[in-house]
Amino acid sequence: METCFDGPDLGQRCRSGPKPRGRDLLITGIRQMATPVPGDGPLYGRDLSAIDLVSDAALLIRDGAIVFAGPEDDVLRATPDADGLESLDAGGRVAIPGLVDPHTHLVFEGLRTAEFEQRIQGRDYLEVLASGGGILSTVDKTRKAPPEKLYQNALGYARRMAAAGTTTVEVKSGYGLDTANEVKILEVVRRLGHEIDLEFVPTFMGAHAVPREFAGETERYVEYLLAEMLPSVAQRRLAEFCDVFCEKGVFTPDQSRRILSEALALGLRPKLHADELSSTGGAELAAELGAVSCDHLVSVSERGMDLLAGNRTVGVLLPGTSLFLGKTRPAPAREMISRGVPVSLATDFNPGTSPLLSMQLVMSLACSYLRMSPAEALSAATINAAYAVARGSSVGALAPGRRADIVITNAEDYREIAYFVGSNLAWATLKEGVVIAREGTPMF
C-alpha cells in the first residue's frame, strides 16, 4: 500500500510498504533548536538542565541519521548539494528530539472506567486489586482477546502517541500471566515494531501480578514463571528486558531477585516497578542487580536513592500515575536530582492507573507536580528516557550520528511545551527522517 501526502513545506512524499528509512532531508527555518547535551551516560545533577539552544537552526539528515545540527548558515555552508535535497521548512518553529516513553503497558483489552469511579469514591489501589479488580480484570479480558484485536487496540494508542511527538516506546507484557498469553502479547509488540513507523522496545513482565489460578500461592507462581514462562520468552527472543512489580502484596524483594537473576542469565536485562505504594527495598535491589531502570519510586528511601545514583540506574518517574490515583505525594524528584540519580519521565500508559498517552503532558506534570524545570523535563523525556531503554547512544538528542528522531513544535520557545498544559504542540513528528505525524494526524 502506498501513502502520499502533500504540503507546501513537505512537498509530496510517498511511502510504500512498512518501515521506510534512509531518507535524506534538509530541515531549515528552525526558530530554536533545543536539545540535551549528550555525554557518555544518562544526565544527572546540574547536567540534567544543560540544554543546548540554537537560534535560526537547521538539520541535515542522511540515511535517516543527523549529519549536521546547528546554525542554518553553518549547515548550508557544509551542504554543497543543498539545492538538490528534499527539504522541510519548519516555518519558525521549535525543534526538539523525538520523545521517548520508557514505561508503558500498551497491549491490553478493556478499559477500567468503573474502577476509576470506585477510586473517586475512596477505594485505594490495593483494595481494588484484592477484590479481583485492577490488573486481574484486565488479564481476564486480555486472555480472551485474539491477537488481531490486541494489535488494533495498540495501533490506535500508538498513533496517538506519535501524533504527540513520541518516537520510541517501551512496551511491557504482564496482562497474560501465563505462558501462552504472555507470548501472545509480546508477539503483538513484535508485529507493531515490524509494521509501523515507531520503535517499540519489548519488556517481559510476567511478574506483574499473581493470576487468579495461583491465588494465595505466590511462590508456586514464581516457580512456574521461572520454569516455563521466562524460558519460553527468552527462546523466542521476544523481549529485551524483564520487569517485576516488587511491592507489598505482590512480589517480595527475594522473589524479585530470583526472577531477575534468572532473566539476566537468559539474556534479559533487569528493570523494576519499585517503591510505588510503600518502601520495600526495590531501589536497593535495582542497584544491586545493575538494573537499567527503576520505575515509580514514590516511596523510595534515602539509601535507595544514593545506591541508584552510585550505580547510574535511571529512575523513571511517572507523575501521571500519581495524579490519576489521587496521590498528594509524588516521587521526590528534586531530592533524587540533588543526590545524583539520573531521572527520566514516562507515561505509564495502562488501562487502570494511567490512561495517559502524551509525553508532553508528562513534561507539564513534571514541572508543576515534581518541581522540575522545563530543561530538566526535556532531558528526562528524551536522552535519559532513551538510556532507560538502552537507546541512549542513538536517540534522545539532536546531534551528529544520532537517528533523526525529531519533533517540530508549534512553539517559539521550548519551555512552551511544558507550559501549555494538555495541549499538543507537535506540528510534525519525524522518525529517522520520515514524517510519521503532521498537525495531530499520524501517517500510519
Separation between Cα atoms, residue 329 and residue 218, nearest integer Å = 30
Give the cell for residue 92.
Answer: 519558525
Region of residue 78 (phi > 0: left; psi between -120 and 50: alpha; otherwise: beta): alpha
pLDDT number for residue 121: 85
Distance of CA 397 to the CA centre of its chain: 15
User: Residue 111 carries which side chain, given as an amino acid letter?
Assistant: L
Q: What CATH number was assigned to the domain covering residues 100-387? A: 3.20.20.140
Separation between Cα atoms, residue 94 and residue 163, nearest integer Å = 16
pLDDT number for residue 3: 35
Whole-model pTM: value is 0.94
pLDDT number for residue 15: 37
pLDDT number for residue 110: 93
pLDDT number for residue 84: 87
The cell 512498512 sits on which residue? 18
pLDDT number for residue 124: 77
pLDDT number for residue 402: 97
Secondary structure percentages of the chain, helix, strand, coil, to 5: 35, 25, 35
Residues 6+ apart with CB under 8 A from 227: none
Listed by start position, the domains of the chain span: 2-97+397-442, 100-387
pLDDT number for residue 403: 97
pLDDT number for residue 134: 85
Question: Of all helices (H) and strands (E), which one includes residue 288?
Answer: helix 282-289
User: Residue 175 carries which side chain, given as an amino acid letter?
Assistant: Y
**In the CATH hierarchy, which fold is given to the domain comprising 2-97+397-442?**
Urease, subunit C; domain 1 (2.30.40)
| Strands lying side by side in the sheet with 241-246 | 99-101, 166-172, 199-207, 241-246, 269-274, 293-296, 314-317, 343-345
pLDDT number for residue 19: 59
Q: How would DSSP label each residue in 48-111?
A: GG-EEEEEEEEEEEETTEEEEEEEHHHHHHT-TTGGGS-EEEEEEEEEEEPEEE--B-------
Query: In a 3-state reduction of DSSP, which class is residue 429?
Result: strand
**Alpha helices by DSSP H, 164-270:** 179-195, 218-224, 230-235, 253-265
Residues 6+ apart with CB under 8 A from 94: 30, 31, 32, 33, 34, 408, 409, 411, 412, 413, 414, 416, 417
pLDDT along the chain (444 residues), means of 10: 33 40 87 96 97 98 97 95 92 98 98 87 74 85 98 98 98 98 98 96 97 96 98 98 95 98 98 94 97 98 97 97 91 98 98 96 98 98 98 97 98 98 98 96 94
User: Residue 376 carries which side chain, given as an amino acid letter?
Assistant: E
Contact indicator for 99, 395 with CB cutoff of 8 Å = no
CA-to-CA separations, 414 to 99, 278, 311, in angstroms, rounded: 13, 35, 31
Reported as a single tens digit per residue, the pLDDT across 353-403 is: 999 999 999 999 999 999 999 999 999 999 999 999 999 999 999 999 999
pLDDT number for residue 7: 36
